[in-house]
Chain A
Amino acid sequence: RKEVEQDPGPFNVPEGATVAFNCTYSNSASQSFFWYRQDCRKEPKLLMSVYSSGNEDGRFTAQLNRASQYISLLIRDSKLSDSATYLCVVKRYNQGGKLIFGQGTELSVKP
């Protein structure tokens, strides 16, 4: 079983839709959580960190449930430019800060 699991998709949604991505992690020692965005044939870029209290950045909302070891990302009013692969990422400080990536969830927003 992979340490970070995501539904690979693809998610095909119309513009303006709300879409939710889920992610589970298996190691309870995981301490920091992130969502990265990766465009086709490009490097990953940090979208947002995920905090226990939940956090929002414009149309994007991230949630963390430590008890269930579950992370989510909600995108409201999706735009064509949101089309990308969204990577769920965890970090454990006792392992030098290396990032552990899920395989990514592909999103395609159609007009």
Chain B
Amino acid sequence: GAGVSQSPSNKVTEKGKDVELRCDPISGHTALYWYRQRLGQGLEFLIYFQGNSAPDKSGLPSDRFSAERTGESVSTLTIQRTQQEDSAVYLCASSLAGAGLSYEQYFGPGTRLTVT
């Protein structure tokens, strides 16, 4: 079946512009996660959605970052007034459930963001 998809695959933007990244999770997966991976680094958690519960935003690095999810479908991550340090690969993952259960997280191919 279809895996997690993300768009765009690459995005180059000028410093100060806003960007919107999209994630389509695997159908039926109630949990959705956003991570960021800077060059040569491990993944950093950004935000987590579980069904209709309030999202866990504890990993968002600043108030320029926000994310939405409609029900159990598409999610968008928005970065306002981008800065050069925002350059990274943004990865989305989904799983059948989140907390308390050992469901595997499946990752999308990521969006490579470059801020010039």
- Residues of chain B in range 34-76 having any CB-CB distance to chain A below 8 Å: 35, 40-45, 48, 50, 56, 58-59
Given A99-B45, A101-B42, A104-B42, A94–B107 Cβ distance below 8 Å?
no
Q: Are B109 and A42 in contact (CB under 8 A)?
A: yes
- The residues in B between 52 and 109 inclusive whose CB is less than 8 angstroms from any CB of A are 56, 58-59, 91, 93, 95, 97-105, 107-109
Contact status of A103 and B56, CB under 8 A, knowing A49-B102, A93-B100, A97-B100: no
Q: Determine the chain A residues whose CB is within 8 A of the CB of B93 once the complex forms.
A: 99
Residue from B59, B91, B102 within 8 A of A32 (CB atoms): B102
* CA of A40 to CA of B105, assembled, Å: 19
Q: How many of B's residues come within 8 Å of A, CB to CB?
A: 30
Distance of A4 Cα from B43 Cα, bound (Å):
11
Quick check: is B25 within 8 A (CB to CB) of the other chain?
no
Chain A, interface size: which category?
20 to 34
Judge whether B98 and A87 touch: CB under 8 Å: no
User: What is the CA–CA distance of A87 and B91 in the complex, to the nearest angstrom?
Assistant: 15
Tell me if A98 counts as interface (CB < 8 A to partner B): yes
Chain A residues contacting B50 (CB-CB under 8 Å) are 96
With contacts A44-B43, A103-B42 taken as known, whether A97 is within 8 angstroms of B101 at the C-beta atoms is yes
Bound state CA distance, A35 and B3, in angstroms? 20
Check B107–A96 contact: CB distance below 8 A. no
CB B76 to nearest CB in A, in angstroms, measures 19
Evaluate contact between A95 and B99: CB separation under 8 angstroms: yes
The reply to whether B102 and A96 form a contact with Cβ atoms under 8 Å apart is no
Which chain A residues lie closer than 8 Å to B110 at the CB level? 43
Residues of B near A97 (CB, < 8 A) are 31, 48, 95, 97-101, 103, 105
**Shortest beta-carbon contacts, A-B, top 4:** A101-B42, A43-B107, A97-B98, A103-B42
10 contacts between A and B (CB under 8 A): A4-B42, A43-B107, A95-B56, A97-B99, A98-B33, A98-B56, A98-B59, A101-B42, A101-B43, A103-B42
A sample of 8 more A-B contacts (CB under 8 A), given A97-B31, A97-B99, A98-B56, is A43-B110, A97-B97, A98-B33, A98-B48, A99-B33, A99-B35, A100-B45, A103-B40
